[in-house]
């Protein structure tokens, strides 16, 4: 059981924003009502909007109305909710905020532990931490002071380094928690557990036995209200640089001697530094497919990226990317890691698929056999599936492909599921940074994707961009890239061959 500091103030900047209302408020409410966290804790929302405490409590109760069935819980929670409006760029307003925090510590009798959560646009990652430090709210003399920031952490390696230098002027690395909500998902953490707790997999987790790895994040929705941000960034910056490379790190890192958070972070950093960097146009053409969703042949489907509100009708921003990476280490020599993500596809799912080599000689008269696979489904339905062969009933040796599966939704007494944000906020309160991203790891990720973006930009995106119909499985060029090494996307594999 985690040792959690049970008293303090959680300060959320951008408290009137969409992310706070949809994700953070429900997660924080769950933490506050949890018996394990029944200590004295309060929430202080901070934003530009002029709310009173009562106004903000009403918004909080509205955000919880469809997510918490017991109204008493909402009432109890809102009693611990407060609000302070400030202008983020006015230093004198931070003196007011400091006084409010000090007064809340006295009136609610909470310990002076403060977690600052920046649910704000990234340009405020410079402004807010600096102003907090100017009034001494970075000092840990009376209790911890921690800073949680959301992605994106810059738009390239240079801007990421600039942001990091700026933050480290006033905060230590141990005070900064760079959140990636993918790492808070139950099944993402299970990647480590599967590898660490099962000798069956630990002994074959290398290039001698693994043929290829696929990490796929499919989305069936378009860009929606994020078009302004998305059109300036695209799928590589939005998904590959953070979420998917972090998953690659968890899958491929060497397991540390123990599961100490710092050791896990170090191993992820090491393996990402081993990812082969693309150097020229030929590397991109052979290993990267970028595409954009366009109008479907179905007349009832009107979605096209260039028709989205806020998107230029001549936009060259990619909404889909598939990349084949290689890791230049002894353990992973020659094993391709395929990363794929896209919007407006025919399904929404997040999965890691490990395909093992078929090192067994085929018996006379047998057809080619499918390879064993371990499928870790992260969403929407959390499950683990291992495919292997057994003998079909009856006379003769006829092989049959079967699955062993573990569906988390159908397991009784398997513990209580918590949301990614709830888990990550709990870890930040406890000072556990194992599921947060270090500055060195952020830099390593940018080191991998910057050359891809730069080469494509230099050679003209028009020469690389493909198109795929909205709500399809993606561009055919992606399938072609895999087929050159005899591979195919797991979600397009045909029915198993019976021998």
Active site residues: 243
Cα torsion at 390, 394, 398, 399 (round to 10°)?
-20
Contact 427, 435 (CB under 8 A): yes
User: 351: closest CA among 319, 383, 397, 390?
Assistant: 383
Separation between Cα atoms, residue 333 and residue 355, nearest integer Å: 15
Q: What is the DSSP letter of 497?
A: P
Separation between Cα atoms, residue 12 and residue 261, nearest integer Å: 25
- Give helix 186-197 / helix 245-252 axis angle, nearest 10°: 20
Separation between Cα atoms, residue 457 and residue 18, nearest integer Å: 33
Element (H, E) at 351: strand 349-356
Both tokens of 159, joined, read 């801007």
User: 496: closest CA among 360, 339, 390, 359?
Assistant: 390
Q: Alpha helices, DSSP H only, in 238-367?
A: 245-252, 261-272, 281-287
């Amino acid at each position: 059981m985690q040792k959690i500091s049970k008293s303090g103030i959680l300060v959320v900047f951008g408290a009137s924003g969409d992310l706070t209302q949809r994700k953070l408020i429900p997660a924080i409410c769950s933490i506050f009502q949890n018996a394990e966290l029944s200590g004295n804790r309060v929430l202080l929302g901070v934003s530009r909007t002029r709310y009173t405490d009562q106004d903000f409590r009403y918004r909080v109760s509205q955000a919880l109305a469809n997510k918490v069935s017991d109204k008493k819980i909402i009432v109890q929670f809102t009693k611990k909710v407060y609000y302070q409006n400030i202008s983020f760029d006015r230093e004198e307003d931070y003196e007011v905020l400091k006084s409010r925090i000090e007064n809340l510590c006295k009136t609610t009798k909470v310990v002076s532990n403060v977690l600052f959560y920046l649910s704000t646009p990234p340009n405020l990652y410079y402004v807010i931490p600096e102003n907090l430090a100017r009034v001494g709210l970075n000092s840990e003399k009376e209790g911890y002071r921690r800073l949680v920031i959301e992605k994106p952490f810059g738009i390239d390696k240079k801007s990421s380094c600039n942001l990091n230098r700026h933050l480290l002027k006033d905060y230590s690395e141990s005070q900064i928690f760079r959140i990636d909500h993918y790492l808070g998902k139950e099944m993402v953490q299970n990647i480590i557990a599967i590898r660490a707790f099962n000798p069956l997999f630990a002994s074959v987790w290398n290039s001698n036995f693994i043929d290829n790895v696929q990490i796929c994040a499919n989305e069936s929705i378009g860009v929606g209200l994020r078009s302004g941000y998305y059109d300036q960034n695209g799928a590589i910056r939005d998904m590959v640089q953070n979420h998917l490379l972090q998953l690659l790190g968890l899958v491929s890192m060497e397991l540390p001697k123990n599961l100490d958070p710092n050791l896990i972070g170090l191993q992820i950093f090491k393996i990402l530094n081993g990812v082969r960097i693309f150097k020229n146009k030929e590397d991109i053409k052979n290993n990267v497919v970028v595409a954009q969703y366009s109008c479907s042949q179905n007349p009832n489907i009107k979605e096209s990226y260039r028709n989205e509100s806020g998107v230029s009708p001549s936009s060259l921003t990619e909404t889909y990317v598939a990349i084949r990476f290689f890791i230049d280490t002894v353990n992973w020599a020659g094993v391709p890691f395929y990363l794929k993500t896209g919007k407006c596809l025919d399904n929404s799912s997040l999965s890691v698929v490990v395909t093992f080599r078929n090192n067994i000689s085929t018996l006379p008269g047998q057809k080619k056999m499918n390879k064993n696979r371990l499928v870790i489904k992260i969403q929407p339905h959390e499950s683990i599936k291992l495919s292997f062969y057994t003998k079909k009933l009856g006379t003769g040796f006829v092989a049959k492909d079967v699955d062993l599966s573990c569906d988390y939704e159908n397991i009784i007494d398997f513990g209580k599921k918590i949301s990614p944000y709830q888990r990550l906020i709990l870890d930040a309160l406890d000072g556990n940074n194992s599921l947060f991203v270090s500055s060195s790891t952020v830099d390593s990720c940018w080191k991998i994707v910057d050359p891809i973006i730069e080469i494509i930009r230099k050679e003209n995106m028009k020469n690389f961009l493909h198109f795929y119909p909205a709500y399809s499985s993606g561009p055919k060029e992606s399938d072609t890239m895999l087929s050159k090494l005899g591979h195919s996307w797991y979600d397009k594999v045909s029915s198993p061959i019976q021998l």
